[in-house]
Amino acid sequence: MKFVHIADMHFDSPFINLSDKDILGDLRRLEQRKVLKKVMEYIKENNIEYLFISGDLYEHQYVKLSTIEYINNLLKEIPNTQVFISPGNHDPYIKNSYYNKFDWSQNVTIFSNEIEKIESKDINIYGYGFGDFYCTDSGMESLQLNDLNKINILVIHGTLDGASIEEKQYNSMARKMLQEKQFDYIACGHIHKPDYSSHIVYPGSTISLGFDELGEHGMIVGEIQKGKKVELEFVPLDEEEFKEIEINVTNTLSKEELIEKINALEISNREYIKIILTGNRNFEINKYELLKYIENERIIKLKDHTKIAYDLEKMANENTLKGLFAKQMLEKLNQPEMAQEDREIIEKAVEIGLEALE
């Protein structure tokens, strides 16, 4: 059997943490549509029998009816492909969800919050969907496969070996427990980074949702024959890529020089760039002001991780007003367990204060 496995599309995501540039969210939402269409084209061209969608297909809070209709119309284009959807924490199977109240294409099966089994001659497909925005027990522990001669597949959304309180809220499952179930393939969702090193597979988010999801994004294409190794391939789909570029400012002596360095960067028109400034700064850096002078619109974020270049310990030994100021600021900076945000505020105060005392 041949299949395609996707997850975490997050249709109609507001992309609120992506950028201050409103148009970028619109572009990403258009890319979501484009990428799902590419999935359908691949399925048609390669006679794929099964499509597994492992949760977070859309954002329950934000998704529009027109988006659901767009998704469903694409699924109608592959009537010979059986589609199995396992709702996740962002698109749970609840009373007012589109999973529950929308008339989906006949080739679509949507799992609810009880483990279900869909049987055919050679294949059993199990699935579970979130029945709320949180899930602490999907019931997987008690599930037993009743026919190991068939190909057995699980479609589910959740985390593996969740350790933190937060992770345990999203259907944490022990990897060892899942391995002992003897599924031939487990189509997981929730983790946005691809992981297909075993038969417990995360395809990752189908398109990147921001700078916390660097690298390629796409789908898993697979083929299963009982008793043989599962053949898996990661197929990139997202034409845009989020990248970070680090610039050390230690030897940069002015704001103007830094702007020139940033504007001289060679950047592909398919990349979204976050600039990370590091090193010891010799001048005050206002990242919002810098962004106004950056010419390449592909540079959409700037992070300032620099430190002040002043030697406060040396200054603190001076018998001057500047030395007294440096001593007081040094005492503040040496306070134990200081939050990073507070440290940055004090460092900025040091910069401004020392410049005023020049």
Which segments in the chain show pLDDT lower than 70?
A: 17-22, 358
Asked if residue 152 and residue 289 are part of one domain, the reply reads no
Asked if residue 144 and residue 223 are part of one domain, the reply reads yes
Check which CATH number belongs to the domain holding 104 and give it.
3.60.21.10
Is residue 18 within 8 A of residue 64, CB to CB? The reply is no
Q: What is the pTM of this model?
A: 0.84
The residue ranges of DSSP E strands in the chain, in sequence order, are 2-6, 50-53, 82-85, 108-110, 116-119, 123-127, 151-157, 159-160, 172-173, 185-189, 200-201, 218-223, 231-236, 241-248, 271-278, 280-281, 299-304, 307-308
Q: What is the rounded CA–CA span in Å between residue 60 and residue 87?
A: 10
pLDDT at 21: 63
Among candidate residues 23, 26, 31, the one with its CA nearest the CA of residue 300: 23
Q: What is the rounded CA–CA span in Å between residue 113 and residue 138?
A: 7
Q: Which of 190, 207, 236 is the last residue of a domain?
A: 236
Asked if residue 85 and residue 26 are part of one domain, the reply reads yes
Asked if residue 269 and residue 197 are part of one domain, the reply reads no
Asked if residue 249 and residue 228 are part of one domain, the reply reads no
Is residue 204 within 8 A of residue 236, CB to CB? The reply is no
For 197-244, what is each residue's pLDDT tens digit? Answer: 999 999 999 999 988 899 999 999 999 998 888 999 999 999 999 999
pLDDT at 17: 62
Three-state SS at 149: coil
pLDDT at 23: 78
Question: What are the phi and psi torsion angles at 245 (to 5°)?
Answer: -120, 125
Asked if residue 51 and residue 34 are part of one domain, the reply reads yes
Q: For residue 284, give the H/E element and its range.
A: none
Question: Which residues span the domain enclosing 77?
Answer: 2-236
Asked if residue 215 and residue 86 are part of one domain, the reply reads yes
Asked if residue 277 and residue 166 are part of one domain, the reply reads no
Asked if residue 249 and residue 232 are part of one domain, the reply reads no
Could you tell me the two tokens for 109? 């099966």
Could you tell me the two tokens for 91? 């698109």
Q: Which of 212, 236, 260 is the last residue of a domain?
A: 236
For 233-259, what is each residue's pLDDT tens digit? Answer: 999 999 999 999 999 999 998 999 999
Domain count, the chain: 2
Q: Which of 194, 209, 236 is the last residue of a domain?
A: 236
Q: What is the rounded CA–CA span in Å between residue 25 and residue 31?
A: 10
Asked if residue 53 and residue 184 are part of one domain, the reply reads yes
Asked if residue 214 and residue 91 are part of one domain, the reply reads yes
pLDDT at 345: 85
Asked if residue 329 and residue 251 are part of one domain, the reply reads yes
